[in-house]
């Protein structure tokens, strides 16, 4: 007997809905085994992982707070990914956004009202995120340099740049030479969205970006051309679709979203510039984009799930003394299952009896 995959003529709607469920069940089973092996009550562990973090209003706020940047960045990246533009440097673009938005906040101090300052910060963040992504786009279109490499390298450069700024010129003069900027003035802080939580207006910006991306991909000519270029590059070239423009659009969309995410972090939960502004959102968002199947709605769900995995890991440490290593293991497993189960969307399993077919 032999199991083979057979391509479906069309992606299966049923499988689209069922595979995440399948992955979830498989993960629960593995989770049981991992936690049992670690001598923890699996039910309590899973409760700590998936229920406890969102059992309170505050917890829900945290879930959305963390999902926001993931959703925002993944949405931007997905636009490029659909056209086979591989921007994996969102982490660096985020950092540049935080630098630009934060720099503006520091320069403005109390002098500028929030209604003016916040939009300006967001625009500055978006522009500088785009500028950082543009380096990779330019190197690709002008020199043919692979954007996976250049965008990744630029992450390191961006981090060193931020590190230099907060250790040097932008260091808080009252801060005993510790590497951080002054705290932003109130006018530079995003207003709260849900009282008693840290959820702020940045989440609305993220939602707006998702909606915009949706419209761009579904309704605009350029969005359509990018999808075609991704699905059938040869046909796209034949139809006269500019591959250079796709590279630019893909990179800039990712850069803008990541840059805004950087501003949201700086002006949201952090409120100042630190040597590191993100716990790896730029990379996690890549997984979110694919777990969400590069679809805005899927990305929204995937970002919530990813966010929950982070919160769950902390909660399991606090409540069950599960080491952070176990958390990483468990998170990786769930992502594997989610990615693997997706095969059923485009293929069906076919069981062949008797002799294996000739190769």
Partner 1 sequence: MDSFAQLVILTLAAGTPLVFAALGELVVEKSGVLNLGVEGMMLTGAVASFIVTARTHSPWLGVGAGAVAGAALSLVFAVIALTLLANQVATGLALSLFGVGLSAFVGRGYVSVVIDGIKPLSIPGLSDAAIVGRLLFGHNPMVYLSLALFVAVQWFMQRTRAGLVLRAVGESPESAHAIGHRVVALRYAAVLFGGACAGVGGAYLAVAYTPSWSEGMTAGRGWIALALVVFATWKPRRVLAGAYLFGGLTLAQFQAQAAGVAIPSQLLAMLPYVATIVVLAVISRDATTIRLNAPASLGKPFHPD
Partner 2 sequence: MSGTPRRMTLAAMTACALAFALPAAAQPKEPLKIGFVYVSPIGDAGWTHQHDIARLAMEKNLAGKVTTRYVENVPEGADAERVIRDLAQSGCKLIFTTSFGYMNPTLKVAREFPGVDFEHATGYKTAKNVGTYNARFYEGRYLAGIVAGRMTRTNVAGYVAAFPIPEVVMGINAFTRGMRSVNPKAVVKVVWVNSWFDPGRESEAANTLVAQGADVLTHHTDSTAVVQAAEAKHVWAVAYHSDMSKYGPDAQITAVTHVWDKYYTRVAQSVLDGTWKPDHVWGGIKDGMIRMGPFGKMVPQDVRDLEKKAEAEIAAGKLNPFTGPMKDNQGKLRLSAGQTITDEALSKMDYYVEGVEGTLPSSK
Only one of the segments 118-126, 160-168, 249-257, 344-352 lies at the binding site for partner 2 (rule: CB under 8 A); that segment is 160-168
Looking at the DSSP bridge assignments, the partners of residue 192 are 200
8 Å CB contact between 64 and 199: yes
Q: Is 45 exposed, middle or buried (0-12, 13-18, 19+ CB in 10 A)?
A: buried
Give the nearer residue to partner 1 in terms of CB position, either 251 or 291.
Answer: 291
Which partner, partner 2, partner 1, none, binds residue 58 by CB below 5 to 8 Å per kind?
partner 2
Give the nearer residue to partner 1 in terms of CB position, either 19 or 264.
Answer: 19
- The tokens for 69 are 């940047």
Task: Tell me how long the chain is.
Answer: 359
242 binds partner 2 (CB under 8 A): no
d(CA 259, CA 278): 12
Give the nearer residue to partner 1 in terms of CB position, either 11 or 119.
Answer: 11
Taking the complex as a whole, how short is the minimal distance between the CB of residue 357 and partner 2, in angstroms?
49
Residues in contact with 257: Cβ distance below 8 Å, sequence separation at least 6, in sequence order: 72, 73, 75, 76, 77, 90, 126, 129, 209, 213
Residue from 9, 277, 77 nearest 162 by CA: 277
d(CA 120, CA 106): 13
Chain residues in the site for partner 1 (CB under 8 A): 5-7, 81, 86, 88, 135, 139, 143-146, 148-150, 152-154, 156-157, 160-161, 163-164, 167-168, 283, 286-287, 289-291, 323-333, 335-336, 339-340, 342-343, 346-347, 359
58 binds partner 2 (CB under 8 A): yes
d(CA 235, CA 243): 12
Give the nearer residue to partner 2 in terms of CB position, either 12 or 276.
Answer: 276
310 binds partner 2 (CB under 8 A): yes
* Interacting residue ranges for partner 2, rule: CB under 8 A: 58, 62, 65-66, 160, 163, 167-169, 171, 175-180, 183, 198, 265, 268-272, 274-279, 310-311, 314-315, 317-319, 321, 323-325
């Amino acid at each position: 007997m032999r199991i083979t995959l057979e391509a479906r003529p069309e992606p299966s709607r049923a499988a689209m809905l069922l595979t995440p469920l399948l992955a979830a069940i498989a993960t629960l089973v593995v989770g049981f085994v991992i936690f049992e092996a670690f001598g923890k009550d699996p039910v309590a562990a899973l409760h700590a992982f998936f229920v406890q973090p969102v059992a309170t209003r505050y917890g829900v706020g945290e879930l959305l707070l963390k999902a926001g940047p993931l959703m925002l960045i993944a949405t931007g990246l997905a636009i490029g990914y659909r056209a086979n533009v591989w921007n994996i440097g969102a982490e660096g673009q985020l950092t540049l956004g935080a630098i630009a938005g934060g720099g503006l906040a520091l320069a403005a101090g109390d002098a500028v009202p929030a209604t003016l300052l916040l939009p300006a910060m967001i625009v500055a963040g978006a522009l500088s995120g785009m500028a950082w992504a543009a380096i990779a786009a330019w190197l690709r279109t002008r020199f043919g340099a692979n954007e996976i490499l250049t965008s990744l390298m630029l992450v390191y450069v961006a981090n060193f740049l931020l590190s230099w700024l907060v250790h040097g010129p932008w260091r808080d003069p009252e801060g005993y030479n510790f590497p951080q900027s002054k705290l932003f003035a109130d006018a530079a802080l995003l207003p709260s969205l849900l009282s008693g939580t840290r959820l702020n207006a940045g989440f609305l910006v993220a939602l707006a970006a998702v909606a915009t991306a949706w419209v761009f991909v579904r309704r605009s000519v350029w969005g359509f051309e990018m999808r075609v270029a991704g699905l059938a590059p040869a046909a796209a070239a034949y139809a006269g679709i500019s591959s250079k423009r796709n590279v630019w659009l893909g990179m800039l969309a990712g850069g803008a979203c990541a840059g805004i995410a950087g501003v949201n972090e700086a002006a949201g939960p952090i409120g100042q510039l630190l040597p590191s502004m993100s716990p790896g959102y730029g990379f996690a968002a890549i997984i979110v984009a694919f777990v969400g199947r590069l679809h805005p709605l899927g990305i929204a769900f995937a970002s919530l799930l990813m966010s929950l995995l982070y919160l769950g890991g902390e909660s399991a440490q606090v409540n069950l003394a599960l080491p952070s290593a176990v958390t990483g293991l468990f998170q990786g497993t769930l992502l594997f299952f989610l990615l693997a189960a997706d095969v059923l969307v485009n293929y069906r399993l076919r069981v062949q009896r008797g002799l294996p077919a000739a190769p």
